[in-house]
C-alpha cells in the first residue's frame, strides 16, 4: 500500500553535505547566532530549493555545488518560517559571472524612449527567473569589500516575495495577524525620512558625499522607490539588524512579523 502511494512522488532531495554547508554559509552575516535547529532546517530547506529550481550559468559559467548552496541558503533564509511555496510559480535561477547590462527601452517623462544599458548585480522578473551576478554574490560575503548589509541574493528574493502581490511595490501579501495600516504607518514615513537623508548627504560638498552616504543605516539605493526600500530593508533586516532596528524600529517590527524571525534577538 505504502509503495503504491509513494509511486509517482518525486524522490527526496539529496542532503547537503555538512562540510559543504559550512563552507557555503560560514561567512555570511545573516548566519550569526542562528541556532542548531534553525541551521539544520535551513540546510534541509536549501536542499529542497536546489531540487525545485533550475540553475543555469551564462558565458560558460559552471554552477558548482558550492555556488548552488551559497545561493540557496541566502534565498531560503527569507522563507525559513514562511515555506518554500512562497517561491512557487517560477523555476529558473540564472547566474552571470559578473554584472550584466541588458538593453532596455525606457520611456521618460516627456514620452521619449531611451535605450539603456546599465550594469546590474541582480534582477527578479515577475513570474520569471531570478538573475544574479556571481561576482556580487561573492562580494556580499567578502569581509574586506563588504558594504554594510549588501546582499544581492536576499535583495532579489525579497522582490520575489513582494511580487506574490503583483508588481514589486514594497507591499507583499501580509499574514492574517498583520495589519495593512500598521505596515503603511511603519514604511511610508521611514521611506520619506530616508529619502530626505539621502538628499541631505548628496547635497554636501563633493568630497564629503561618499562618507555621508556610507554613514546611512541602509544602502542609499533604498531611496529609489518603496519596492527598493523593502528589498534593501530586507537585506539589512537579516544582515545588519543592529543598524536597521534602532534607525527604523517600526519597519524592523513589521519585517519581524512578516518574516516570522528576529535576527536582532539572535545577536544576543
Which residues in this chain contact Zn ion in the complex, by CB under 5 A? Answer: 228, 231
Our CA angle for 245, 225, 251, nearest 5°, is 20
The Cα–Cα gap between 126 and 31 comes to: 28
We find the least distance from the C-beta atom of residue 52 to Zn ion, in angstroms, to be 23
Burial of 213 (0-12, 13-18, 19+ CB in 10 A): middle
Select from 59, 134, 151 the least CA-distant residue to 93: 134
By Cβ distance, which residue is nearest to Zn ion?
231
In 17-109, at which residue ranges do the beta strands (DSSP E only) sit? 54-57, 92-96, 104-107
We find the least distance from the C-beta atom of residue 27 to Zn ion, in angstroms, to be 23
We find the least distance from the C-beta atom of residue 232 to Zn ion, in angstroms, to be 7
| Nearer to Zn ion (CB atom), residue 25 or residue 151 | 151
| Nearer to Zn ion (CB atom), residue 48 or residue 125 | 125
Between β-strands 104-107 and 113-116, what pairing exists: parallel, antiparallel or unpaired?
Answer: antiparallel
We find the least distance from the C-beta atom of residue 122 to Zn ion, in angstroms, to be 7
| Nearer to Zn ion (CB atom), residue 217 or residue 227 | 227
We find the least distance from the C-beta atom of residue 59 to Zn ion, in angstroms, to be 23
| Nearer to Zn ion (CB atom), residue 45 or residue 156 | 156
Record the cell numbers describing residue 239, joined without a space. 544582515
| Nearer to Zn ion (CB atom), residue 186 or residue 223 | 223
The secondary element (H helix, E strand) that includes residue 113 is: strand 113-116
Amino acid at each position: 500500500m505504502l509503495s503504491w502511494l509513494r509511486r509517482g512522488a518525486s524522490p527526496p532531495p539529496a542532503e547537503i553535505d555538512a562540510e559543504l554547508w559550512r563552507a557555503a554559509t560560514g561567512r555570511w552575516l545573516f548566519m550569526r547566532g542562528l541556532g542548531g535547529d534553525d541551521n539544520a532546517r535551513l540546510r534541509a530547506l536549501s536542499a529542497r530549493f536546489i531540487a525545485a529550481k533550475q540553475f543555469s550559468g551564462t558565458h560558460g559559467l559552471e554552477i558548482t555545488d558550492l555556488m548552488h548552496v551559497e545561493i540557496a541558503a541566502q534565498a531560503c533564509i527569507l522563507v525559513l518560517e514562511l515555506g518554500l511555496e512562497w517561491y512557487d510559480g517560477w523555476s529558473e535561477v540564472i547566474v552571470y559571472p559578473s554584472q550584466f547590462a541588458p538593453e532596455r527601452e525606457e520611456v521618460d517623462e516627456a514620452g521619449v524612449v531611451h535605450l539603456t544599458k546599465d550594469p546590474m548585480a541582480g534582477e527578479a522578473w515577475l513570474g520569471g527567473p531570478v538573475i544574479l551576478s556571481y561576482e556580487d554574490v561573492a562580494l556580499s560575503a567578502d569581509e574586506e569589500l563588504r558594504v554594510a548589509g549588501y546582499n544581492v541574493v536576499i535583495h532579489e528574493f525579497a522582490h520575489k516575495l513582494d511580487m506574490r502581490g503583483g508588481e514589486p511595490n514594497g507591499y507583499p501579501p501580509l499574514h492574517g495577524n498583520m495589519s495593512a495600516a500598521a505596515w503603511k504607518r511603519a514604511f511610508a514615513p521611514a521611506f520619506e525620512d530616508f529619502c530626505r537623508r539621502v538628499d541631505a548627504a548628496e547635497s554636501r560638498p563633493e568630497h564629503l558625499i561618499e562618507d555621508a552616504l556610507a554613514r546611512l543605516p541602509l544602502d542609499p539605493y533604498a531611496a529609489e522607490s518603496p519596492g527598493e526600500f523593502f528589498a534593501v530593508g530586507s537585506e539589512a533586516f537579516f544582515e545588519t539588524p543592529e543598524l536597521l532596528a534602532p534607525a527604523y524600529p517600526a519597519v524592523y517590527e513589521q519585517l519581524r512579523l512578516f518574516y516570522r524571525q528576529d535576527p536582532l534577538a539572535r545577536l544576543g
